[in-house]
Chains A and B, each alone.
Chain A
Amino acid sequence: MTRGPRIGDPAPRPDGPDKVTGRFPYSSDLRAPGMLWGAAVRSPHASARIVGIDPAPALALEGVAAVLTADDVPGRPTYGLAVADQPAFARDLVRHHGEAVAVVAAATPDLARRAARAVAVDYAPLDPLTDPAAAVTAAPLHPNGNVFRHLIVRRGDVAAAAADPDLVTVEDTYEVGRQDPAFLGLESGLAVPAADGGVDLAVSTQFLHADRDQVAASLGLAPERVRLTLAGVGGAFGGREDLTLHLHLCLLALRTGRPVGMAYDRSESFVGHVTRHPARMWYRHRATRDGTLVSVEARVLLDGGAYQSTSAAVLANACCFAAGPYRVPHALVEGWAVRTNHPPAGALRGFGIPQVCFAHESQMDALAAALGVDPVDLRRRNALAPGDALLTGQRITGTAPAVACLDAAVAHPLPAPPDDDPLRRPGGTGLATGPGDVRRGVGVAMAFKNLMYSEGLQDLSTASVRLAVDGGELVATVHCAAAEVGQGFVTLAQQIVRTELGVDRVVLRAADTSIGEAGSSSASRQSWMSGGAVAAACAGVRDEVLARVAAGRGGRGEAFALRDGEVVSRDGGLRLPLAEVVGADPVEAVRVFTHADTAPLDADGQGDAHVAFVFTAHRAVVDVDPALGSVQVVQIATGQDIGRALNPLAVTGQLEGGIAQGLGLALLEDVVTREGRVATRTFQDYLVPTALDVGDVVATLIEEPEPGAPYGAKGVGEAPTLSSIPAVVAAVRAATGRRLRRVPVRPAHVALGEDGVAPFVVPGGPAAPPGVVTGPEGPLAKPALTDPPGVAELPGGEGGA
Chain B
Amino acid sequence: MSRPRGLAEAIDVLRADPAAVPLGGGTDLLVALRAGERSVRHVVALRRVEELAGVTTGPDAVDLGAGLTWAGMEAQVGATLPALAAAARAVGSPQARNAGTLGGNLGSAAITGSTLPVLLALDAGVEVAGPAGTRTVPAGDLVRGPGDVALHAGEIVTRVRIPRARGPQQFLKVGQRGSVITAVAQVALVLDLGARRVRCGVGAATPVAFRPRAAERAAEAAIDWDAVTADPDLPRRFGALVAADRPPLDDLRASAAYRRHAVAVLAERALARALAA
Q: Report A's interface with B, CB cutoff 8 A.
A: 117, 267, 423, 425-434, 437, 627-632, 667-668, 672, 679-680, 682, 684-685, 687, 690, 692-693, 746-748, 751-752
B252-266 residues with Cβ-Cβ distance < 8 A to A are 252-255, 257-258, 261-262, 265-266
Say whether, besides A680-B252, A751-B261, A432 and B172 are in contact (CB < 8 Å): yes
In angstroms, Cα B243 to Cα A627, docked, is: 15
Chain A residue nearest to B175 (CB atoms) is A430
A684 near B178 with CB under 8 A, answer no
Say whether, besides A428-B177, A690-B180, A751-B261, A434 and B269 are in contact (CB < 8 Å): yes
B269 near A429 with CB under 8 A, answer no
How many whole Å from B148's CB to the nearest CB in chain A? 21
B235-277 residues with Cβ-Cβ distance < 8 A to A are 252-255, 257-258, 261-262, 265-266, 269, 273
Say whether, besides A434-B269, A748-B258, A428 and B179 are in contact (CB < 8 Å): yes
B177 near A685 with CB under 8 A, answer no
A747 near B252 with CB under 8 A, answer no
In the complex, which of the residues B178, B265, B266 contacts A429, with contact meaning CB atoms closer than 8 Å?
B178
How many whole Å from B19's CB to the nearest CB in chain A? 19
B179 near A751 with CB under 8 A, answer no
B262 near A429 with CB under 8 A, answer no
B90 near A431 with CB under 8 A, answer yes
In the complex, which of the residues A432, A434, A690, A747 contacts B176, with contact meaning CB atoms closer than 8 Å?
A747
A752 near B257 with CB under 8 A, answer yes
B145-186 residues with Cβ-Cβ distance < 8 A to A are 171-183, 186
A contact residues around B86 at 8 Å (CB): 431
In the assembled complex, B89 has its CB within 8 A of some CB on chain A: yes
In angstroms, Cα B178 to Cα A667, docked, is: 12
B contact residues around A431 at 8 Å (CB): 86, 90, 171-173
B contact residues around A748 at 8 Å (CB): 254-255, 257-258, 261
B183 near A430 with CB under 8 A, answer yes
B contact residues around A117 at 8 Å (CB): 36
A628 near B262 with CB under 8 A, answer yes
How many whole Å from B50's CB to the nearest CB in chain A? 31
Say whether, besides A429-B90, A434-B273, A748-B254, A627 and B177 are in contact (CB < 8 Å): no
Please report whether the interface of chain A is mostly helix, strand, loop or mixed according to DSSP: loop
B179 near A430 with CB under 8 A, answer yes
In the complex, which of the residues B171, B176, B186 contacts A687, with contact meaning CB atoms closer than 8 Å?
B176
9 nearest CB pairs, A to B: A428-B178, A430-B173, A428-B179, A748-B258, A429-B179, A432-B172, A429-B90, A432-B174, A692-B179
In angstroms, Cα B182 to Cα A117, docked, is: 30
A751 near B176 with CB under 8 A, answer no
Chain A residue nearest to B183 (CB atoms) is A430
In the complex, which of the residues A267, A687, A751, A752 contacts B181, with contact meaning CB atoms closer than 8 Å?
A687
13 further interface pairs, Cβ-Cβ under 8 Å (given A433-B178, A685-B253): A117-B36, A423-B178, A427-B174, A427-B178, A428-B177, A430-B172, A430-B173, A431-B171, A628-B174, A628-B262, A628-B266, A687-B177, A690-B180
Say whether, besides A430-B90, A430-B173, A690 and B266 are in contact (CB < 8 Å): no
Chain B residue nearest to A423 (CB atoms) is B179
Cross-chain pairs A/B with CB under 8 angstroms, 24 sampled = A267-B35, A425-B178, A429-B90, A429-B178, A430-B90, A430-B172, A430-B174, A430-B178, A430-B181, A431-B172, A432-B174, A433-B178, A628-B265, A667-B177, A668-B177, A680-B252, A685-B253, A687-B176, A687-B177, A687-B181, A692-B180, A747-B254, A748-B254, A751-B261
Which interface class (under 10, 10 to 19, 20 to 34, 35 or more) fits B? 20 to 34
How many whole Å from B265's CB to the nearest CB in chain A? 5
A contact residues around B36 at 8 Å (CB): 117
B contact residues around A747 at 8 Å (CB): 174, 176, 254, 258, 262
B170-217 residues with Cβ-Cβ distance < 8 A to A are 171-183, 186
How many whole Å from A666's CB to the nearest CB in chain B? 12
How many whole Å from A144's CB to the nearest CB in chain B? 33
How many whole Å from A377's CB to the nearest CB in chain B? 33
B273 near A630 with CB under 8 A, answer no
B180 near A630 with CB under 8 A, answer no
B254 near A432 with CB under 8 A, answer no
In angstroms, Cα B255 to Cα A752, docked, is: 11
B254 near A630 with CB under 8 A, answer no
In angstroms, Cα B178 to Cα A680, docked, is: 19
Say whether, besides A267-B35, A430-B90, A430-B172, A627 and B265 are in contact (CB < 8 Å): yes
Q: Quick one: CB contact mask for B121-145 with A, threshold 8 Å, 1 for yes?
A: 0000000000000000000000000
B55-77 residues with Cβ-Cβ distance < 8 A to A are none
Most buried by A among B35, B174, B182, B253: B174
In angstroms, Cα B258 to Cα A628, docked, is: 9
A contact residues around B253 at 8 Å (CB): 685
Most buried by B among A628, A684, A687: A628
B contact residues around A426 at 8 Å (CB): 178
A contact residues around B90 at 8 Å (CB): 429-431
In angstroms, Cα B178 to Cα A629, docked, is: 10
Chain A residue nearest to B179 (CB atoms) is A428
Say whether, besides A430-B183, A434-B269, A751 and B177 are in contact (CB < 8 Å): no
A contact residues around B269 at 8 Å (CB): 432, 434, 437
How many whole Å from A321's CB to the nearest CB in chain B? 30
Chain B residue nearest to A684 (CB atoms) is B182
Chain A residue nearest to B86 (CB atoms) is A431
Chain A residue nearest to B184 (CB atoms) is A747
In the complex, which of the residues A680, A685, A751 contacts B258, with contact meaning CB atoms closer than 8 Å?
A751
In angstroms, Cα B179 to Cα A631, docked, is: 11
A679 near B252 with CB under 8 A, answer yes
How many whole Å from B34's CB to the nearest CB in chain A? 8
In angstroms, Cα B243 to Cα A751, docked, is: 15
B contact residues around A667 at 8 Å (CB): 177
In angstroms, Cα B212 to Cα A607, docked, is: 66
Chain B residue nearest to A629 (CB atoms) is B258
B contact residues around A668 at 8 Å (CB): 176-177
How many whole Å from B74's CB to the nearest CB in chain A? 10
B contact residues around A692 at 8 Å (CB): 178-180
In the complex, which of the residues B35, B172, B252, B261 contacts A752, with contact meaning CB atoms closer than 8 Å?
B261
Chain A residue nearest to B187 (CB atoms) is A432
B176 near A746 with CB under 8 A, answer yes
Chain A residue nearest to B255 (CB atoms) is A748
B40-99 residues with Cβ-Cβ distance < 8 A to A are 86, 89-90
In angstroms, Cα B180 to Cα A668, docked, is: 13
A630 near B177 with CB under 8 A, answer yes
B contact residues around A628 at 8 Å (CB): 174, 262, 265-266
In the complex, which of the residues A437, A629, A690 contacts B179, with contact meaning CB atoms closer than 8 Å?
A690
A contact residues around B273 at 8 Å (CB): 434
Chain A residue nearest to B269 (CB atoms) is A434
A429 near B252 with CB under 8 A, answer no
How many whole Å from B147's CB to the nearest CB in chain A? 16
In angstroms, Cα B258 to Cα A629, docked, is: 10
